[in-house]
Chains A and B, each alone.
Chain A
Amino acid sequence: MVSLSDYLILSAIIFCIGLVGIFVNRTNIITLLMCVELILVAVNTNFIAFSHFLGNEAGQIFVFFILTVAAAEVAIGLAILTLLFRNKGSINVDVTNSLKG
């Protein structure tokens, strides 16, 4: 039988892969946004696992809302990315260093 802890450990691993992806990647910002999606999916998995094992649907409702917000966030994130590409000419992560101290 798969226990709750297996699901939780799985989601923890995915979460950390997403974290690593954020600061390891040097290529482009799209990858960054995708790693954020990965983190969200891991969290969703966590919620659903708990919801299943504790018999409470509130977890699934919450996943519902997380999906909504994630979609909105992706939309706006890509809009910003488009603007960035328009202004800087590339979406290399290194171009976003205007706030350099």
Chain B
Amino acid sequence: MENIYLTIALAPLLGAIIAGFFGGMLGRTATHTITILGVLVSTVLALYVFNHHVLEQGAVFNQNLYTWMQIGSLNVSVGFLVDNLTSVMLVVVSFVSLMVHIYTIGYMHDDDGYTKFFSYISLFTFSMFMLVMSNNFMQLFFGWEAVGLVSYLLIGFWHHKESAVEANLKAFLVNRVGDFGFLLGIGLVLAFSGSLDYMEVFSTLDKVVGQSLWGADLITVICLLLFVGAMGKSAQVPLHVWLPGSMEGPTPISALIHAATMVTAGIFMVSRMSPMFELSDVALTVVMVIGAITALFMGLLGIVQNDIKKVVAYSTLSQLGYMTVALGVSAYSVAIFHLMTHAFFKALLFLGAGSVIVAMHHEQDIRKMGGLRKKMPITYWTGLIGTLALIGFPGFAGFYSKDMIIEAVHFSSLPYAGWVYYAVVAGVFITAFYSLRMFFIVFHGESRVDHHTEEHLHESPASITFPLIALAIPSAIIGYLTIDPMLFNGWLDNAITVDAAHKSMAEIGQLFSHHGGALGMISHAVFTVPFWMMVGGIVTAWIFSLYRTQWAAWVQSKFQGINYILESLYGFDRFNEIVFVNGVKKLGNLLWKVSDAGLIDKMVVNGSARLVGFIGSVVRPIQTGYVYHYAFFMIFSLLIILTWALFAGDNPLLQIEF
């Protein structure tokens, strides 16, 4: 088995190396064939692993394959921990990556950096595999950093565009802030448990419980620091500012990295650390509240966006907030479930947006689109399926996962759970509103497309539409198929620990069986509040984008203040710029002028020279050049020696009694 895991991880790496170094020589066709082959091998093997572990209940695989270093009693190695959670993540990541690889053939067709792109996305796939399969914190951090690095490379892929370069720097730096907290958390884990291996840490958790660090409960501090890392990677408020900027990268990577896989690494990490998070109610509350803030407020921002990719980006932020809320109420399997469904339909939506962009010759403003339904049927229908999944239309994948999250929050007993419940329910309305707004403006209504582009408008080639169809299928049905086994029949049991006091999972399990399973949920849906929220969102979007578009402009002019706040993205970017960027610049200036130039240069370096000069100038006049001065000093010293020899010392020459 261990060879299979190694192959899963290393096949994309091999593809990346070959594409990266020999891509120019091999040419485009050979490069994309090799890399797709690599990811295809990983996908097939991932499905096999899934079958073995989850469906056949294979044993958990936890082994160190290579000892990287041994420092005293600390052993840091490369090892794999493959259980059901890992298997689910492997399937999701490999499948989405394969779809994106195929999609890239069509999307990056005209680009010069074709082979480089394939190399990067294969490299990303490798890093993501290492992250999810790791069995210790160090390898997790390696994968963490590696995906951050590849994200940086890919966001700035078109490096001659200045906005892209700024965006990739921003992404990397904000991620760094998260990583800083993450590292502190790992450091604390190491300090108090003495090991970096997951299983060893979890088994010594009872030692850590109850200890306090500078007045705060230790396990809370550790969990909060680890969550800071998740905040950076999964773009929770306030470390979310990088995700909209990351849309500067090509659409395939927006789909792969910033929708389906990298941003879910934080969610995965918290689920993996569920034994630790369960011990701290404070940490769970913080997780839940931050997730709710992200879900609600980022959704609001999606309403006023005019760039097709930005709408989907804010949608991603909002959905990540939902996943985080699920983590906060100890419904870890629900969070993973939503992660899985979200990966499928969000990748689908991004790839669909990319299809529209390619057809519109890289025009991204939705106000210049309209009525594309007739010209791009496949994109239209797959886009519809994705949108319905996103808004939680009964029966589609998103419906099950989102509903479960809302119910889980409803049953949670954490503080502020009430407010969070209202936030996520309102979020359903907002999600439906912005999704359908975008959908109607782009695909329905009169065409506002510029004349020249309209002549060339046609459906995208097969390499683009095939992934769309392939992703639409799970978006539609996977929720129905997997909700029962994953959430309530213990698919993830051997990976996730839930404390008995957090009874959300148990309650929604009861609710689920009460309503008669997955099928029953559909028919029951009409009686739930979220359903009517969704309907309200759809109707409002229809009114404002198709029925009476002039009302939208009227509302905007009436609520100018709110409009301003939303369009300036709540001022996070301004705040960061003023406080952090300018602050650091000022600090740098201060340190330069005062400390470096003033203190060190003037006082220490020049000062010591001046001191030597000063002492020299004091001592120099002693040498007058006159012989009689010298003679006088000699005589005077002679007198002193004489006196000393005569009267003082151990053996004075004169013994005088006074």
Contact = CB atoms under 8 A, between A and B. Distances in A.
Interface string B609-624: 0000000000011111
A87 B66 CA distance: 88
A97 B635 CA distance: 20
A99 B623 contact: yes
Nearest to B633: A23
A12 to B, nearest CB: 11
- Grouping DSSP codes into helix (H, G, I), strand (E, B) and loop, the B interface class, with mixed when no group exceeds half, is helix
Interface in A5-63: 19, 22-26, 32
A23 B631 contact: yes
Contacts of A99: 623, 625
Chain A interface category by residue count: 10 to 19
A99 B626 CA distance: 8
B627 A32 contact: yes
B575 interface: no
A101 B628 CA distance: 15
B629 A23 contact: yes
A12 B204 CA distance: 93
Contacts of A26: 628
A13 to B, nearest CB: 15
B640 to A, nearest CB: 14
A98 B625 CA distance: 6
B559 interface: no
Contacts of B631: 19, 22-23
B632 interface: yes
Given A19-B635, A23-B635, A101-B620, A93 B628 contact: yes
A23 B639 CA distance: 15
B624 A100 contact: yes
Contacts of A32: 627-628
Given A32-B627, A96-B627, A101 B632 contact: no
A73 interface: no
A94 B623 CA distance: 14
18 contacts: A19-B635, A22-B632, A23-B629, A23-B632, A23-B635, A24-B628, A32-B627, A93-B628, A96-B625, A96-B627, A97-B625, A98-B625, A100-B624, A100-B625, A101-B620, A101-B622, A101-B623, A101-B625
Given A23-B631, A96-B627, 18 more contacts: A19-B635, A22-B627, A22-B635, A23-B628, A24-B628, A26-B628, A32-B628, A93-B627, A94-B626, A96-B625, A97-B624, A99-B623, A100-B623, A100-B624, A100-B625, A101-B620, A101-B621, A101-B623
Interface of B: 620-629, 631-632, 635
Interface of A: 19, 22-26, 32, 93-94, 96-101
